[in-house]
Structure 1
Amino acid sequence: MADLRAQLLDAGIELVADQGVSGLTHDAVDARAGVAAGSTEVRFPTNRALVEGVTQRCIEREMEMASGPNGEIEASREGLASAFGAFAHRALGVDRATTLARYMLHAEAARTPALRAFYAVGADEVDTWALDLVRRAGSRHPERDYGIMANYVTGLVFHELALPTPGLDVAGRVRTLIDALGWRAA
């Protein structure tokens, strides 16, 4: 049942956000999700499978955060700036748990080679999608520009989790970055 899978993994995301990767156990997910004992272990038999499932669910949720409910972003400078702004707003607001969990899983991947390889596959999917969007939006150097923009927004969100800026305008900042990168009008 796909809904139960998402329910379990969303509970796992909340646990990682609240307690770190060490708090992600089968029993804790069952309790947080409000399901029968053993439900998580049936679907994710090992701790590694559970961590990988939560990692994949973070990627799924971040893709939806980036592309919005209709799954599309206008391939333009303004469309991209608006999308990054909306992403950051959600990452720091209603999807804060996903953001915190992703950063914790990212740190865990830095220490765990097997998770690093799994994490990289999901990151490659996101990068391929976003790189195409940056290219269509007018970048003359899409690989370079996407890397700069992604790292900028990732760092900005990381900073804002701990030290929020009142009235933060991420879209405006991304527009300024796009202008500094010298994109052509799309």
Structure 2
Amino acid sequence: MDLRTRLLDAAVEVVADQGVTGLTHDAVDSAARVSAGSTLATFPSRRALVEGVTERCIERELEMAVGPRREVAPSPDGIASMFGHFVGRALGEDRAVTLARYVLHAEAARTPSLRAFYAVGADTVDTWAVDLVRRAGSHQPERDFGIMANYVTGLVFHELALPTPGLDAAGRVRALIAALRWTPP
């Protein structure tokens, strides 16, 4: 792993634990266990550091959903499985990414310049996902992806605080897809 990625992964942990106010160059140096000044040398301003963390969260969320190869079967079941996998990781091994993302979402709501930056990265993922939903049989892929993404975001948010024993996230997404009445190709 290169230094930049190592620093950003440490910064994700800092944001998850301490919020954006705790995100300092020194805190990241400490979390990454690198020499003092390493984060400042890589991210010369606080804004550059916040933007870097935002980009890294988006990258890691895509990995959480599809793994390193972005291969998802363009079918209702493939998409339900993808979202189920994402929810499992978001609540488990990648919980810090999830918490950091929610913190950054709240920060973007208060900071228009971060909102614009955040939107560009999210648009890249959304474009890929909307195409996948279209190929899976949605007649209104932009609408349907928005509904699914918002549902999964809300599900994860709720489950962070109030976990459901034996949660079947993929099954819930399958039911949502059925309600949206896709016609697989």
Query: Which TM-score band (shorter chain)?
Result: over 0.9
2:64 aligns to what? 65
* SS of the residue 1:140 aligns to: coil
Q: Aligned partners of 1:126 and 1:103: how far apart in 2?
A: 17
Q: Distance in 2 between matches of 1:62 and 1:16?
A: 15
**How far apart are the structure 2 equivalents of 1:117 and 1:45?**
20
Q: Which whole-Å CA distance do the structure 2 matches of 1:70 and 1:63 have between them?
A: 10
Counterparts of 2:144 and 2:70, CA distance in 1: 22
What is the rounded CA distance, in whole Å, between the counterparts of 1:67 and 1:103 in structure 2?
20
User: For residues 70 and 49 of structure 1, what CA distance do their matches in structure 2 show?
Assistant: 28
Q: TM-score of the superposition, structure 2-length normalised?
A: 0.98
Cα deviation for residue 67 of structure 1 reads: 1.0
- 1:19-42 CA-partner distances (Å, limit 9, x unpaired): 000010000000000001000000
Paired position in structure 2 for 1:185: 184
Q: In the alignment, residue 39 of structure 2 is paired with which amino acid?
A: T
Distance across 1 between alignment mates of 2:41 and 2:184: 52
Report the Cα offset of residue 3 of structure 1. Answer: 1.1
Corresponding residue of 1:28: 27
Segments of 5+ residues of structure 2 without an aligned counterpart are none
Name the counterpart of 2:147: 148
Where does structure 1 differ by over 3 angstroms across 4 or more consecutive aligned residues? none
Residues 112-131 of structure 1 mapped to structure 2, 5 A cutoff: 112-131=111-130
CA displacement 1:103-129 (0-9 Å, x = unmatched): 000000000011011001011111101
Q: Structure 2: how far apart are the matches of 1:132 and 1:71?
A: 13
| Cα distance in structure 2, aligned partners of 1:164 and 1:81 | 20
Instruction: Verify: 1:95 aligned to 2:94, yes or no.
Output: yes
Amino acid at match of 1:69: P
Aligned to 1:118, the other structure's residue is in SS state helix
Query: Deviation digits for residues 97-156 of structure 1, max 9, x if unmatched?
Result: 000000000000000011011001011111101101100111011011011000000000
Question: Among the aligned pairs, what percent are the same residue?
Answer: 75
RMSD (Å) for aligned C-alpha atoms: 0.8
Residue 71 of structure 1 deviates from its aligned partner by 2.2
Match of 1:50 in 2: 49
Deviations 1:54-86 (A, max 9, x none): 000000000111112332111101000000000
| SS of alignment partner, residue 94 of structure 1 | coil
The alignment of Structure 1 onto Structure 2 pairs a total of residues equal to 185
Residue 147 of structure 2 aligns with an amino acid whose one-letter code is: I
Q: What residue number does 2:74 align with?
A: 75
Structure 1 partner of 2:167: 168
Distance 2:68 2:171 in 1: 22
Residue type matched to 1:141 in 2? Q
Q: Which range is displaced more, 70-79 or 106-115?
A: 70-79
